[in-house]
């Protein structure tokens, strides 16, 4: 199930700090200057075993002449329209401001499920002061401190209870589901149009899916898969200047519904921050990934141009760089079917199961020859490894001191798994457990 939580509110109430806490990252810039968050940040979070995506919007400012503030206001409105739940953040130390009333009015009119989060409640007096925000008419007030995390547990308990319990969306069979994602104007719609509109007699829409995404079956030229078509499916209203932010929200849903993501980038501009965000979001969702470098016909070629671009691209997506890279020209229909073949191979890799006997036969000698580094004078010994029964490749290594194994050794184990078995294009998750 795709669940999106948007953080909204006026500038400088702590939205980015809460975003960093929820996603366990430091991606959002935290400064005491209003308006710092202009680019959108989005990431994965989970609470009590429930996964959801988090969108950090900019501060909502009504009646402003500042062009950035107008864009931020528009982006908040888009987020309110597209998200499942909105966390409306206010500052308990400053009390209710006219801008808070503007946001509250927007949320009441939208009818969107909203939680009023009174941030910066760092002591009992400030927690008591949070009751003033009931005046805004949003409902229950949740005093929290984004800095130290107090109060966030009670908030998240109620947030995850509010997600619609409809179960996993399904097409009724086990065919692969591919999503074409990426920034605007990189050729996503052209690829979808070529695959779907030129072969109308072989596409069958599958009804019953939610949030306007459509599974469309493609069965021709030896291929058989579902394409998650999100292009132009909803009236965009006030998008205009914020088409990129709108595309982020659509990409989040497409990623979560897919098995493999075809991440399309522009060959002329290369891999930009927005592309990297989408790449990492797909990886965190344990989805297969194929990178399509589109508009290759517009690039001036020299000797080894492909190798240079591919090397630069893989450096940027490190450490997960075992990903197929296909250079395409959708408008000239170059390597389109090669891209689909790569996606199908990644789909099969994602389903790959390695027997416990094989894992131990091949990995234990490698581990014995290269044991985990000694930590605090203690030697960690890995005795056993098995693949877990998850829908994506995940492995459990049983050892005496799992807490002492650090990220570099985890990467070492992943690299050896990839050398021994084909998991190209698929994120691998490794757990260390007490024997």
- Tell me what the pLDDT averaged over the chain comes to: 83
- The model's pLDDT over 136-147, given as tens digits with 9 standing for 90+, comes to 999 999 999 998
> What is the arithmetic mean of pLDDT over 229-234?
46
pTM: 0.72
Summarised one tens digit per residue, pLDDT across range 57-72 is 766 655 555 555 566 5
Lowest mean pLDDT across 156-165, 221-230, 253-262: 221-230
CA–CA gap between residue 265 and residue 388 (Å, rounded): 33
Element of type H or E holding 208: none
**Cβ atoms 43, 35 nearer than 8 A:** no
Residue 109 pLDDT greater than 90, yes or no: no
Apex 167 CA angle, 165 and 173, nearest 5: 160
How many residues are present in the chain? 435
Q: What is the pLDDT of residues 31-53, one digit of tens each?
A: 443 443 344 567 788 898 888 88
Band (pLDDT 50/70/90 cuts) for residue 168 is very low
Report long-range pairs for 70-75 (Cβ below 8 Å, ≥24 apart): 71/38, 71/241, 71/242, 72/35, 72/37, 72/38, 74/238, 74/239, 74/240, 74/241, 74/242, 75/40, 75/242, 75/245
What is the spatial distance between Cα 65 and Cα 254, in angstroms, rounded to a whole number?
A: 35
Q: What pLDDT sits at residue 424? A: 97
Residue 99, CA atoms < 13 Å, CB-side half-sphere: 21
| Average confidence (pLDDT) over 106-120 | 90
pLDDT in tens, 178-189: 999 888 788 888
Query: Is the Cβ–Cβ distance between 117 and 144 less than 8 Å?
Result: yes
pLDDT for res 288: 97
Q: How confident is the model at residue 199 (pLDDT cuts 50, 70, 90)?
A: very low
- pLDDT of 226 > 50? The answer is yes
* Higher per-residue confidence, 375 vs 35: 375
Model confidence pLDDT, tens digit, residues 357-373 = 999 999 999 999 999 99
Asked whether residue 204 carries a pLDDT value surpassing 80, the answer given is no
**Structure-model confidence comparison of residues 297 and 217, the more confident one:** 297
pLDDT average, residue stretch 157-177? 74
Confidence band, pLDDT 50/70/90 cuts, at residue 232:
very low
CA nearest to 279, candidates 229, 239, 231, 313 = 313
Looking only at the bridges linking them, the beta strands covering 214-220 and 141-143 are unpaired
What span, in angstroms and rounded, lies between the C-alpha atoms of 8 and 103? 8
283, pLDDT greater than 90? yes
Closest to 232 (Cα-Cα) out of 192, 275, 292, 271: 192
Q: How confident is the model at residue 292 (pLDDT cuts 50, 70, 90)?
A: very high
Please report, rounded to a whole number, the percentage of residues in the chain having pLDDT higher than 90: 49
pLDDT at position 241 is 44
Task: Tell me which of 81 and 225 has the higher pLDDT.
Answer: 225
Q: Looking at the predicted structure, is the pLDDT value of residue 3 above 90?
A: no
pLDDT value, residue 37: 38
Q: Can you read off the two tokens belonging to residue 331?
A: 């408008």
Q: Quick check: 169 pLDDT over 60? A: no
**What pLDDT, on a 0 to 100 scale, did the predictor assign at position 152?**
93
Across 301-315, average pLDDT: 90
DSSP state of 2: -
Q: Could you tell me which residue, 28 or 253, shows the higher pLDDT?
A: 253
Q: What pLDDT is attached to residue 70?
A: 62
Provide the 8-state DSSP code for 372. Answer: P
User: What is the model's pLDDT at position 67?
Assistant: 52
Q: Pseudo-torsion of CA 55, 59, 61, 64, nearest 10°?
A: -110
Residue 171 pLDDT class (50, 70, 90 cuts) = low
End-to-end Cα distance, the chain: 33
């Amino acid at each position: 199930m795709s669940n999106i939580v948007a953080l909204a509110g006026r500038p400088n109430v702590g939205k980015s700090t809460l975003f960093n806490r929820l996603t366990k990252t430091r991606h959002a810039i935290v400064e005491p200057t209003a308006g710092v968050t202009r680019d959108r940040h989005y990431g994965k979070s989970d609470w009590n075993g429930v996964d959801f995506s988090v969108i950090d919007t900019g501060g909502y400012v009504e009646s402003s002449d500042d062009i950035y503030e107008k864009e931020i206001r528009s982006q908040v409105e888009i987020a309110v329209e597209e998200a499942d739940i909105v966390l409306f953040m206010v500052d308990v130390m400053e009390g209710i401001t006219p801008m808070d009333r503007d946001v509250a009015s927007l949320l009441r009119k939208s009818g969107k499920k909203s939680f009023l989060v009174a941030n910066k409640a760092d002591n009992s007096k400030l927690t008591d002061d949070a009751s003033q925000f009931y005046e805004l008419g949003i409902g229950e007030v949740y005093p929290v401190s984004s800095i130290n995390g107090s109060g966030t547990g009670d908030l998240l308990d109620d947030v995850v209870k509010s997600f619609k319990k409809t179960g996993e969306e399904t097409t009724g069979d086990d065919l692969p589901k591919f999503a074409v994602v990426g920034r605007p104007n990189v050729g996503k719609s052209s690829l979808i149009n070529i695959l779907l509109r030129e072969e109308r007699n072989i596409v069958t829409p599958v009804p019953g899916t939610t949030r306007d995404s459509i599974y469309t079956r493609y069965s021709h030229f030896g291929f058989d898969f579902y394409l998650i078509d999100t292009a132009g499916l909803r009236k965009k209203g006030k998008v205009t200047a914020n088409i990129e932010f709108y595309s982020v929200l659509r990409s989040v849903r497409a990623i979560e519904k897919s098995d493999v993501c075809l991440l399309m980038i522009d060959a002329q501009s290369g891999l930009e921050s927005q592309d990297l965000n989408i790449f990492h979001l797909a990886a965190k969702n344990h989805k297969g990934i194929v990178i399509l470098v589109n508009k290759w016909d517009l690039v001036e070629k020299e000797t080894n141009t492909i190798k240079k671009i591919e090397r630069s691209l893989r450096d940027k997506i490190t450490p997960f760089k075992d990903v197929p890279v296909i250079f395409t020209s959708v408008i000239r229909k170059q390597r389109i079917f090669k891209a689909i073949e790569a996606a199908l191979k990644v789909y099969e890799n994602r389903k790959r199961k390695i027997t416990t006997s094989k894992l131990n036969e091949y990995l234990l000698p490698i581990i014995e020859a290269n044991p985990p580094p000694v930590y605090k004078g203690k030697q960690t010994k890995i005795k056993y490894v098995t693949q877990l029964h998850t829908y994506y490749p995940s492995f459990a290594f049983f050892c005496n001191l799992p807490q002492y194994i650090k990220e570099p050794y985890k990467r070492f184990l992943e690299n050896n798994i990839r050398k021994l078995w084909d998991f190209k294009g698929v994120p691998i998750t490794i757990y260390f457990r007490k024997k």
